[in-house]
A and B are shown apart, each in its own frame.
Chain A
């Protein structure tokens, strides 16, 4: 009898748990409900996004937006499955370098006829290029960040080197000379965090006129590794292997990993994304004096490649027009500034960039904002086969080159010869 009671109790418990598992239904009250999947992750940024959604919902009772939290770490797989299953969010936050597969796969709506003229004209053409694939525009680029040099101001001042500005940046040669001057006694002028060396190398190479990917008249893309493409990688290689002015130990690190050594005065400068300032403000020892410097300039000035954050609309969304209206609301100049401040990044919109809060000296916002006009579409993000070229060819080749295992000739051979074999498979 006791056993029977026990069994009954277990059965009841399972039944109760299953009842608890049941998800509640959603009332169909006739209103349009859009799902907005955001990848904001820092508190200020999440708060800004949620607040904007609340403001929209208060002003648009017939078009309600539901905030859905996604994460950068897994967004590609999660979106791919959602697209395949026809369950994708209506409004999708992502980065432009993740959009190519989705755009070519027909999962994203072409926004050209959906967006208002105000938004189209507010964002510069070179930013639109980052989200243009084939003939269509599949995302609105709204936040971007240049790679900058974050410097230990005291070390630079003590060494008496010229401090570069966006108006008078260092050339690549001058940068190399300065890092030599800042090195010695187990200290380094610069620490390159090159765990993922390809995008950093390609994006910085734009300043010297390097493009590496060249589209022919037949529309096919081939890889070249000309003199202009070599300026940035050769500088890094020589700093590590010839001058001893860059730490070889940081080549395998991510950006955050270099900060302890930077705070300890081991490295005078670290090339990092502009948004890393937030971590520096949070983590730097009290009294640590740091400043933002522009990356070195070449024959094309301060040009560098970026892959901005984007907002897209799912092709399967039954409410594309309303989704585009919501994007237009999110990206009004004042709102774009709020999003930019939340993420410590730069807005793409020209009106938003004029906002005084982005021109303050505090945390060197002004230096970064001055670089916005030089940001270009990352060279390879629309090239089909780029992902494989990056993972199988360029990443190991650049890692070996930077560590001194191979020379420039071998690097060229791998990037070009092996690389073109990879790209050819995608362009038959």
Chain B
């Protein structure tokens, strides 16, 4: 049954309100990034800067090693995403296809592991990484992010694997394909959208993460973007607002670009995971 006109209008209105709600902080961030200090302190702020300037960007780059921090963030996030997907895929396959007491226990552990707060983990983690000489090292941080994103990545991929009909694998087996061949030639291509979505999730998790990076990365040469952004904040919440907005705007760009590039595959992946066979 098609919805009535008023109902449809209401739906569009709700959608519009939601989009405005989502877009507002980002648009305000862009506006702030281009405003000179005097406009930032105006009692009647405007959306469009009256006297737009790039000075905030110049200052942000002058004061903090943004490019190096961005490179660190990209490196760590890409490594973490790839490794998490590589590890999670076979695990997810086993958990989805072979339901046993062990796989149920593993699923339970995945759920429980999401409940641990950061502060509970950070000190033992710090000590372990210290003993491994992985404090202030990008591989150490990557390992943390892999472990941190793995449970949810696994959870996502289990759903995607279950959405692939087992009959296809059985047909391949009837045609003489071995287990590995079936996985590589039949299951993996069907899982591709799910793998992309999972990798993206792991990437975003690592890209935005602050607390582990703050504690584990000591020198500016190794710090990631979220940590560097806090250097624009002073005591008692005072902020260098213009350069902070400029740097934060730049920090959001990689995520947006990646989303834009793989949006179709991501949407397909989400739908695939949503439909259970």
Partner-B contacts on A (CB < 8 A): 3, 10, 13-14, 17-18, 20-23, 35, 39, 41-43, 46, 66, 68-69, 71-74, 77-78, 81-82, 84-87, 89, 95, 195-196, 254-256, 259-261, 263-264, 266, 273, 276, 279, 282-286
Smallest CB separation, B44 vs chain A (Å): 8
Q: Known: A41-B232, A74-B214, A266-B43. Contact between A85 and B130, CB under 8 A?
A: yes
Q: Return the CB mask of B202-226 against A: 1 if under 8 Å, else 0.
A: 0000000001001100111011000
The answer to whether B220 touches A69 (Cβ under 8 A) is yes
The answer to whether A68 touches B42 (Cβ under 8 A) is no
Partner-A contacts on B (CB < 8 A): 37-38, 40-43, 45, 59, 62-63, 75-76, 78-79, 82-83, 86, 119, 122-123, 126-127, 130, 135-139, 142, 184-185, 211, 214-215, 218-220, 222-223, 227, 230-241
Q: Known: A18-B139, A263-B43. Contact between A42 and B233, CB under 8 A?
A: no
A35 to B122, CA, bound (A): 22
> Which chain B residues border A18 with CB–CB below 8 Å?
79, 139, 142
The answer to whether B43 touches A261 (Cβ under 8 A) is yes
The answer to whether A23 touches B136 (Cβ under 8 A) is yes
Q: Known: A260-B42, A283-B38. Contact between A14 and B79, CB under 8 A?
A: yes
Selected contact of B122 from candidates A81, A95, A282, CB within 8 Å: A81
> Which chain B residues border A10 with CB–CB below 8 Å?
82
Residue of B nearest to A80 (CB): B123
The answer to whether B214 touches A84 (Cβ under 8 A) is no
> Which chain B residues border A85 with CB–CB below 8 Å?
123, 126-127, 130, 135
Selected contact of A21 from candidates B139, B220, B234, CB within 8 Å: B139
A86 to B239, CA, bound (A): 31
The answer to whether A95 touches B214 (Cβ under 8 A) is no
Known: A3-B184, A14-B83. 5 other contacts (CB 8 A): A18-B79, A78-B215, A85-B127, A87-B126, A87-B218
Which 3 pairs between the two chains have the least Cβ-Cβ distance?
Answer: A283-B41, A23-B137, A264-B43
> Which chain A residues border B234 with CB–CB below 8 Å?
41-42, 72
Smallest CB separation, A87 vs chain B (Å): 6
The answer to whether B41 touches A259 (Cβ under 8 A) is yes
A82 to B232, CA, bound (A): 22
What are 11 A-B interface contacts by the 8 Å CB criterion?
A3-B185, A14-B82, A35-B218, A41-B240, A43-B59, A72-B233, A89-B218, A256-B238, A263-B43, A264-B43, A276-B238
> Which chain A residues border B62 with CB–CB below 8 Å?
43
Selected contact of A81 from candidates B86, B123, B230, B238, CB within 8 Å: B123
The answer to whether B231 touches A41 (Cβ under 8 A) is yes
The answer to whether B138 touches A21 (Cβ under 8 A) is yes
Residue of A nearest to B83 (CB): A14
> Which chain A residues border B82 with CB–CB below 8 Å?
10, 13-14, 17
A95 to B185, CA, bound (A): 61
The answer to whether A254 touches B236 (Cβ under 8 A) is yes
A82 to B219, CA, bound (A): 13
The answer to whether A66 touches B219 (Cβ under 8 A) is yes
The answer to whether B240 touches A255 (Cβ under 8 A) is no
The answer to whether A73 touches B233 (Cβ under 8 A) is yes
Selected contact of A68 from candidates B76, B135, B218, CB within 8 Å: B218
Question: Could you say which of A39, A72, A255, A263 has the most chain B C-beta atoms within 10 Å of its C-beta?
Answer: A72
A72 to B88, CA, bound (A): 38
The answer to whether A279 touches B238 (Cβ under 8 A) is yes
The answer to whether A68 touches B138 (Cβ under 8 A) is no
Question: Could you say which of B76, B211, B236, B240 has the most chain A C-beta atoms within 10 Å of its C-beta?
Answer: B236
> Which chain B residues border A283 with CB–CB below 8 Å?
37-38, 40-41
Selected contact of A46 from candidates B38, B63, B122, B211, CB within 8 Å: B63
The answer to whether B130 touches A86 (Cβ under 8 A) is yes
Residue of A nearest to B230 (CB): A71
Residue of A nearest to B232 (CB): A41
> Which chain A residues border B241 with CB–CB below 8 Å?
256
> Which chain A residues border B211 with CB–CB below 8 Å?
77
Residue of B nearest to A47 (CB): B63
A66 to B211, CA, bound (A): 23
Smallest CB separation, A88 vs chain B (Å): 10
Question: Could you say which of A73, A255, A256, A259 has the most chain B C-beta atoms within 10 Å of its C-beta?
Answer: A73
A256 to B222, CA, bound (A): 32
> Which chain A residues border B239 with CB–CB below 8 Å?
256
The answer to whether B236 touches A255 (Cβ under 8 A) is yes
Selected contact of A285 from candidates B38, B184, B218, CB within 8 Å: B38
Smallest CB separation, A288 vs chain B (Å): 9
Smallest CB separation, B247 vs chain A (Å): 13
A129 to B69, CA, bound (A): 40
> Which chain A residues border B122 with CB–CB below 8 Å?
81
> Which chain B residues border A77 with CB–CB below 8 Å?
119, 211, 214-215
The answer to whether A23 touches B222 (Cβ under 8 A) is yes
The answer to whether B233 touches A41 (Cβ under 8 A) is yes
Smallest CB separation, B51 vs chain A (Å): 12
Question: Could you say which of B79, B137, B234 has the most chain A C-beta atoms within 10 Å of its C-beta?
Answer: B234
Smallest CB separation, B77 vs chain A (Å): 11
Selected contact of B135 from candidates A17, A42, A74, A87, CB within 8 Å: A87
Residue of A nearest to B237 (CB): A254
Smallest CB separation, B234 vs chain A (Å): 5
A139 to B156, CA, bound (A): 50
Q: Known: A85-B123, A95-B235, A284-B38. Contact between A22 and B139, CB under 8 A?
A: yes
The answer to whether A71 touches B38 (Cβ under 8 A) is no
> Which chain B residues border A261 with CB–CB below 8 Å?
43
> Which chain A residues border B63 with CB–CB below 8 Å?
43, 46
A72 to B38, CA, bound (A): 25
Residue of B nearest to A264 (CB): B43
Selected contact of A42 from candidates B78, B127, B240, CB within 8 Å: B240
Residue of A nearest to B220 (CB): A69
> Which chain A residues border B227 with CB–CB below 8 Å?
71
